[in-house]
């Protein structure tokens, strides 16, 4: 029967005499384990240099310099340890990520068996906030909720300042800021600045098992020269950047930041992607074949459509008599637009702060212009009702119309500044001012139907409505010129938008066209040929259908937009 008690060590026996071959083999086996190696290194305080000192610059940034991520593509295995570490340390929500891992491949669709062009090349890409030299998120924020540290260059988000407008999400071409519905604010990577302040590496840097990520110090002037000017020879990176082989998705010039990524001249990203290998001449993002609709932003749909409706009515009031019905309609619809717009904010009680960034943010300028428009409309309506205000009546309505047109301009610039192709200047300005003209004509046609106005004025408003509707619908159809076959290599953002509108969103597109034709063309033509008693009902119906049609158009404006972003992974 074996002894159930542990064998006690004899004090007189030496350590060497007690050691056996089995003990030596066990000790050798323990030496080979990663746990034992890490434990002994940690006990000897040798691990601190590797995890804290060697992954950080030897000195902090000097004036004109800043911290930046450097990613060694040759060492990135795509294990996503950096993603997990970032998520755990920052306490992110389940659907919230501040660092992602994407893929570059040499075929536009890795799942298409019909295409034989794929050679099997894959390159993992780990990315987070690039802490840009000229950050678009900071420039577009209406409430100063972003700060670029003057000493470290880190772009931080100030949670307590944020109103949840999500404009920074649209402004950032890399889709870095993440909106948290639970908190009603936006959050983003801050390079673990609290750890850097005490000499510790960020979570993603420290967690990478292959040391593919590290923190470096870069010259901001060199970044500007590289992406917005002609770099000198001494500004070229020491190690070869693989992205110099590829083209920029939004520019005819070569993208010397990263293949299949947005044009770096937009924000001047500071992240460096380095490799010693020669990559294939043409690479695609792993998710380049994915076509996915965007957020509909329904409160913004209501804000833009109704505000342009009200502005169109106010402009018509300058030329049409009696003007009071149009001004009252503009006032009511404008107030509804303001309320609808506030519903888009995650922190609506902080909406009063939206004007603070008027020097840089078109969002702030839109808020100021729309508020001025509603203010002048209220004064104009009051002046027409009050005998004391009649002397001011002549210039209050034109002031309201001018403030309204300025509002439409600011609204269009909000989306033009995001650099998304579907929201470029030609499309945004044409659609926004087209809606203003169309709904202003429809409002005039509807209100004149209830007044004793000359038939010529009614016919003029109806003809204007018909022409505006046909012109706007024709312009919207131009997007389908970019429709290409699904198998076309490297679909552009406009290709994907056209495929969305012709496929997943096609039913909504058809409804928009039908409502536009009925409300803006058919009913006005019928109304002009009917007796006077039927004109009011037809005119009001035409206005209602036109408004619904424009609401659908603005819904498609948001849901169908596709932007080039950082490379993602293969779609499931």
Rounded Cα–Cα distance for residues 191 and 154 (Å): 7
Rounded Cα–Cα distance for residues 294 and 309 (Å): 25
Q: 300: exposed, middle or buried (C-beta count within 10 Å: 0-12, 13-18, 19+)? A: buried
Q: Which contacts of 322-327 are long-range, i.e. CB under 8 A and separated by 24 or more positions?
A: 322/451, 323/384, 323/397, 324/381, 324/384, 324/385, 325/447, 325/450, 325/451, 326/443, 326/444, 326/447, 327/377, 327/380, 327/381, 327/384, 327/397, 327/400
Hey, which CATH number is domain 65-285, 3.40.50.2300, 3.40.50.970, 3.30.1960.10, 3.30.70.20?
A: 3.30.70.20
Q: How far apart are the first and last CA of the chain?
A: 60
Q: By C-alpha distance, which of 247, 245, 347, 277 is closest to 76?
A: 277
Q: Would you say residue 474 has pLDDT above 70?
A: yes
Angle between helices 298-319 and 324-342 (to 10 degrees): 160
At residue 108 the predicted structure's pLDDT band, cuts being 50, 70 and 90, is low
Lowest mean pLDDT among 171-175, 246-250, 538-542: 246-250
Q: Choose between 113 and 88: higher pLDDT.
A: 88
The reported pLDDT for the residue numbered 131 is 96
Distances (CA, A) of 398 to 319, 378, 405, 412: 10, 13, 10, 21
Q: Would you say residue 153 has pLDDT above 90?
A: yes
At residue 113 the predicted structure's pLDDT band, cuts being 50, 70 and 90, is very low
Q: Choose between 272 and 118: higher pLDDT.
A: 272
The reported pLDDT for the residue numbered 77 is 87
415-454: string of b/e by CB count within 10 Å (b at 16+)?
Answer: bbbbbbbbbeeebbbbbbbbbbbbbbbbbbbbbbbeeebe
* Interior angle at CA 265, CA 262 and CA 266, nearest 5: 70
The CATH superfamily of 298-559 is Formate dehydrogenase/DMSO reductase domain (1.20.1630.10)
Q: Would you say residue 11 has pLDDT above 80?
A: no
Query: pLDDT (tens digit, 9 = 90+) per residue, 376-396?
Result: 999 999 888 776 656 667 789
Contact of 287 with 294, CB cutoff 8 Å: no
Contact of 307 with 301, CB cutoff 8 Å: no
Q: Would you say residue 19 has pLDDT above 90?
A: no
Place of tokens 């205000």: 389
Contact of 257 with 247, CB cutoff 8 Å: no
C-alpha of 228 from chain center: 22
Beta bridge partner(s), residue 217:
67
Query: pLDDT (tens digit, 9 = 90+) per residue, 397-424?
Result: 999 999 999 999 999 999 999 999 999 9
Range(s) of the chain covered by CATH 1.20.1630.10: 298-559
Q: Compute and round to an integer the Cα radius of gyration of the chain.
A: 31
At residue 27 the predicted structure's pLDDT band, cuts being 50, 70 and 90, is low
Rounded Cα–Cα distance for residues 66 and 156 (Å): 13
Rounded Cα–Cα distance for residues 569 and 83 (Å): 14
The reported pLDDT for the residue numbered 399 is 94
Work out the average pLDDT over 240-253: 37
The reported pLDDT for the residue numbered 571 is 61
Query: pLDDT (tens digit, 9 = 90+) per residue, 302-331?
Result: 999 999 999 999 999 999 888 889 999 999
Q: Would you say residue 4 has pLDDT above 50?
A: no
Rounded Cα–Cα distance for residues 93 and 104 (Å): 27
Q: Choose between 79 and 48: higher pLDDT.
A: 79
Kind and range of the H or E run holding 83: helix 81-90
Work out the average pLDDT over 70-97: 90
pLDDT, mean over the chain: 84
Q: Would you say residue 99 has pLDDT above 90?
A: yes
pTM (2 d.p.): 0.84
The reported pLDDT for the residue numbered 487 is 52
Work out the average pLDDT over 32-41: 49
Place of tokens 């609401």: 551
Contact of 463 with 451, CB cutoff 8 Å: no
The reported pLDDT for the residue numbered 565 is 87
Q: And the tokens for 85?
A: 């570490």
DSSP state of 254: B
Work out the average pLDDT over 543-568: 94
Q: Would you say residue 253 has pLDDT above 80?
A: no
Q: By C-alpha distance, which of 468, 472, 467, 447 is closest to 458?
A: 447
Work out the average pLDDT over 110-125: 62
Range(s) of the chain covered by CATH 3.30.70.20: 65-285
At residue 105 the predicted structure's pLDDT band, cuts being 50, 70 and 90, is confident
Give the length of the chain.
Answer: 572
**Alpha helices (runs of H) in 198-243, residue ranges in sequence order:** 203-207, 220-228
Contact of 300 with 411, CB cutoff 8 Å: no
Distances (CA, A) of 70 to 178, 215, 285, 415: 22, 6, 20, 31
At residue 371 the predicted structure's pLDDT band, cuts being 50, 70 and 90, is very high
- φ, ψ (nearest 5 deg) of residue 319: -110, -15
Rounded Cα–Cα distance for residues 224 and 211 (Å): 28
Q: Choose between 122 and 509: higher pLDDT.
A: 509
Query: pLDDT (tens digit, 9 = 90+) per residue, 435-460?
Result: 999 999 999 999 987 876 777 888 89
Query: pLDDT (tens digit, 9 = 90+) per residue, 125-137?
Result: 999 999 999 999 9
Q: Would you say residue 425 has pLDDT above 90?
A: yes
* Interior angle at CA 526, CA 522 and CA 528, nearest 5: 125
Looking only at the bridges linking them, the beta strands covering 65-72 and 272-274 are parallel
Contact of 445 with 473, CB cutoff 8 Å: no
Q: And the tokens for 290?
A: 């994915």
Rounded Cα–Cα distance for residues 182 and 191 (Å): 23
- φ, ψ (nearest 5 deg) of residue 43: -60, -30
Query: pLDDT (tens digit, 9 = 90+) per residue, 288-309?
Result: 888 889 999 999 999 999 999 9
Rounded Cα–Cα distance for residues 47 and 65 (Å): 29
Place of tokens 């309201």: 400
Q: And the tokens for 378?
A: 């209220």
Rounded Cα–Cα distance for residues 446 and 449 (Å): 5
The reported pLDDT for the residue numbered 23 is 72
The reported pLDDT for the residue numbered 551 is 98
- φ, ψ (nearest 5 deg) of residue 571: -75, 150
Query: pLDDT (tens digit, 9 = 90+) per residue, 187-233?
Result: 999 999 998 888 888 999 988 888 899 999 999 999 999 998 854 44
- Number of C-beta neighbours around residue 30 at 10 A: 13
Q: Would you say residue 348 has pLDDT above 50?
A: yes
Query: pLDDT (tens digit, 9 = 90+) per residue, 160-177?
Result: 999 999 999 999 999 899
- φ, ψ (nearest 5 deg) of residue 466: -65, -45
């Amino acid at each position: 029967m074996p002894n159930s008690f542990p064998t006690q060590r004899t004090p007189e026996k030496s350590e060497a005499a007690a050691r056996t071959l089995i003990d030596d083999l066990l000790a050798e086996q323990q030496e080979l384990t990663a746990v034992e190696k890490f434990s002994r290194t940690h006990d000897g305080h040798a691990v601190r240099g590797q995890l804290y000192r060697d992954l950080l610059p030897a000195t902090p940034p000097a004036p004109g310099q800043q911290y930046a991520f450097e990613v060694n593509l040759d060492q990135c295995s795509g294990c996503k340890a950096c993603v997990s570490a970032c998520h755990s340390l920052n306490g992110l929500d389940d659907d919230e990520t501040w660092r992602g891992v994407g893929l570059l491949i040499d075929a536009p669709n890795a799942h298409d068996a019909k295409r034989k062009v794929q050679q099997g090349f894959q390159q993992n890409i780990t990315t987070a906030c690039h802490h840009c030299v000229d950050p678009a998120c900071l420039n577009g924020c209406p409430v100063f909720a972003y700060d670029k540290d003057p000493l470290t260059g880190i772009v931080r988000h100030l949670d307590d300042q944020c109103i949840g407008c999500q404009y920074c999400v649209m402004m950032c071409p890399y889709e870095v800021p993440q909106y948290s519905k639970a908190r009603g604010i936006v959050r983003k990577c801050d390079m673990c600045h609290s750890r850097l302040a005490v000499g510790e590496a960020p979570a993603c840097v420290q967690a990478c098992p292959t040391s593919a990520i590290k923190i470096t110090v870069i010259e901001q002037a060199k970044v500007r020269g590289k992406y917005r000017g002609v770099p000198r020879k001494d500004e070229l990176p020491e190690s070869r950047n693989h992205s110099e082989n590829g083209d920029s998705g939004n520019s005819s010039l070569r993208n010397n930041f990263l293949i299949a990524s947005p044009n770096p001249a937009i924000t001047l990203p500071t992240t460096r992607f380095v490799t010693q290998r020669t990559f294939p001449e043409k690479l695609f993002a792993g998710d380049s074949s994915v076509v996915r609709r965007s957020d509909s932003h329904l409160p913004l749909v209501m804000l833009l459509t109704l505000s342009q409706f009200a502005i169109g009515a106010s402009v018509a009031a300058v030329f049409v008599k009696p003007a009071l019905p149009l001004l009252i309609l503009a006032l009511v619809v404008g107030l509804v637009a303001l309320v609808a717009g506030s519903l888009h904010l995650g922190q609506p009680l902080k909406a009063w702060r939206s004007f603070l960034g008027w020097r840089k943010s078109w969002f702030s300028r839109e808020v100021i212009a729309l508020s001025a428009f509603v203010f002048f409309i209220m004064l104009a309506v009051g002046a027409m009702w009050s005998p004391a205000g009649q002397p001011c009546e002549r210039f209050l309505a034109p002031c309201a119309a001018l403030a309204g047109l300025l509002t439409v301009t600011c609204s269009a610039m909000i989306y033009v500044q995001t650099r998304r192709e579907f929201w470029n200047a030609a499309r945004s300005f044409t659609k926004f001012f087209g809606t203003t003209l169309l709904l202003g004509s429809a409002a005039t046609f509807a209100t004149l139907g209830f007044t004793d106005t000359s038939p010529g004025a009614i016919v003029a408003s109806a003809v204007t409505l018909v022409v505006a509707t046909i012109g706007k619908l024709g312009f919207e159809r131009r997007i389908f010129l970019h429709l290409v076959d699904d198998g076309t290599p490297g679909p552009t953002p406009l290709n994907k938008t056209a495929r969305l509108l012709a496929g997943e969103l096609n039913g909504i597109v058809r409804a928009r066209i039908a409502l536009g034709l009925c409300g803006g063309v058919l009913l006005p033509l019928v109304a002009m040929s009917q007796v006077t008693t039927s004109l009011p009902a037809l005119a009001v119906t035409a206005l209602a259908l036109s408004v619904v049609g424009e609401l659908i158009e603005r819904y498609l404006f948001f849901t169908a937009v596709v932007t080039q972003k950082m490379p993602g992974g293969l779609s499931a």
